[in-house]
Copies of this chain bind each other. A is one copy, B any other.
Amino acid sequence: MSSIREVARAAGVSVATVSRALSMPEKVASKSLAKVHAAVAKLDYKPNMLARNFRSARSYAVVVLVPDIANPFYGLFIRALEDRAQQKGYAVLLGDTRGTAEREQEYIRRVETRLADGIIQLRPSSEKTKNNISADIPCVYACGCEYNTGPAIHIDNRGAARTMVDYLLSLGHRRIGVISGLKDNPHTIDRLEGYKESLRNAGIEFSKELIAEGDFTMWSGLNAAFQFCNMKQRPTAIFCMNDEMAIGAMQTLKAQGIRIPEDMSVTGFDDIAYAKYCDPSLTTISQPAEEMGKMAMDMLLRIIEGESLSQTDCVLPTEFIIRKSTAPVKLI
């Protein structure tokens, strides 16, 4: 409740001296410093950061736009983002957009009205699904794609998908189904490209009927898997574009009496915590979510503070993790 004026009066110095004693103590005589500290302690003074931020025209807060906070993959990201922001004295304003443009807009407005200094966007942006974040707002894509326009951190989605499909091919699989994310999603596009490249290199023709569209939720994976169960000539492996859909798909396959991996191999993407503990444990691609989050936050804060970036696009390596959900194709 007490203001800097009261502290100044109690310490017998001016307000400016108190201000300096607190923010640049080396510029103040030790005698005054002691008086100020005594007064601060006596009055239990807590500086009003709202006033400080107003004065400095900065909020020291960053909006994190996330499609769904309850998605465990984003949880890892956010933990890393928050950690780094906290270290650097910034707060994280959580913006769960639920995938809607309106909610995204409301949070963008928070930046325009100075309630936040910048944005971390966890949804990748493409031509079709644009963000309408104007160019003068500091913004970093923490989970971007190949053709992001602004500063971005991302993995080589195409290459990782190729690695996965190459591996399935090396196990003898020739008919490989895909459970994709939404068609427009940049990650879907990149990963599908990798799948196609891998098949092309192996001389296998791409077949549209082997692609089932999901939306990255467990439930959509569960549904999409039915498409493959009901086929006359079933695929012998399914490449799922994230772990949640793979877990959902495995549920369906097991319910249909299809054994994994003996009858059908299943692979995921992301390596969420649960991928290790599901049954069978999931062969997948591990994304360095923690490091991506930290780098994205560092990048954003550097932009906010007006420093120049050495590079605006950063690709991090993934790890290919073989577990128990994949096996060589069964000889008939």
Residues of A bordering B, CB below 8 Å = 46-51, 53-54, 57, 59, 61, 64, 68-72, 75-76, 78-79, 82-83, 86, 91-96, 103, 106, 109-110, 112-115, 218, 222, 247-248, 250-251, 254, 273-274, 277-279
If A78-B69, A82-B69 touch, whether A48 touches B273 (CB-CB below 8 Å) is: no
Within 8 Å CB of A64, what residues of B? 94
Interface centre among A57, A247, A250, A277 (most CB of B within 10 A): A277
Q: How far is the CA of A57 from the CA of B47 in the complex (A)?
A: 13
A115 in complex: contacting residue of B49, B95, B106, CB < 8 Å:
B49
Q: Identify which of B46, B72, B79 contacts A113 (C-beta below 8 A).
A: B46
Which residues of the partner chain B approach A250 to less than 8 Å between Cβ atoms?
A: 279
| Most B C-beta atoms less than 10 A away, residue of A71, A94, A218 | A94
In whole angstroms, what is the CA distance A93 to B49 when docked? Answer: 15
Please give the distance in Å from A255's CB to the nearest CB on chain B.
Answer: 10
Contacting residues, chain B, for A273 (C-beta < 8 A)? 70, 218
Contact A50 B115 (CB under 8 A): yes
* Chain A facing B: main interface SS: helix
Chain B residue with the shortest CB-CB distance to A47: B113
Cβ of A195 to closest chain B Cβ, rounded Å? 25
- Among candidates B59, B92, B248, residue contacting A277 with C-beta atoms closer than 8 Å: B248
Contact B274 A251 (CB under 8 A): no
Q: Is the CB of B94 within 8 A of A110?
A: no
Tell me which of B68, B78, B279 contacts A279 (CB under 8 A): B279
B residues near A70, Cβ cutoff 8 Å: 72, 75-76, 78-79, 273
A332 to B114, CA, bound (A): 70
A51 touches B49 (CB 8 A): no
Interchain nearest-CB distance for A54 vs B (Å): 4
Inter-subunit contact A93/B91 (CB<8 Å)? yes
In the assembled complex, which residues on chain B have CB atoms less than 8 Å from the CB atom of A53? 50, 54, 115
Residue of B at shortest CB range from A106?
A: B86
On whether the beta carbons of B103 and A86 are closer than 8 Å, the reply is yes
Is A110 in contact with B96, judged by CB distance below 8 angstroms? no
Which residues from B are CB-within-8-Å of A109?
46
A69 adjacent to B75 (CB under 8 Å): yes
Identity of the chain B residue whose Cβ is nearest the Cβ of A75 in the assembled complex:
B70
Inter-chain contacts of A47 with B (CB < 8 A): 113
The residues of B that contact A247 with a CB separation of less than 8 Å are: 274, 277
For residue A86, give the distance in angstroms from its CB to the closest CB of chain B: 7
Beta-carbon nearest neighbor of A82 in chain B: B96
Complex: how many Å from CA A61 to CA B76?
23
CA separation between A33 and B114, bound complex, in Å? 24
28 residue pairs of the A-B complex, CB under 8 angstroms, read A46-B109, A48-B113, A49-B115, A50-B54, A50-B59, A50-B113, A61-B93, A69-B69, A69-B79, A69-B82, A70-B76, A70-B78, A70-B79, A71-B75, A72-B75, A75-B75, A78-B96, A79-B96, A82-B95, A91-B115, A92-B93, A93-B94, A218-B277, A247-B274, A247-B277, A278-B278, A278-B279, A279-B279
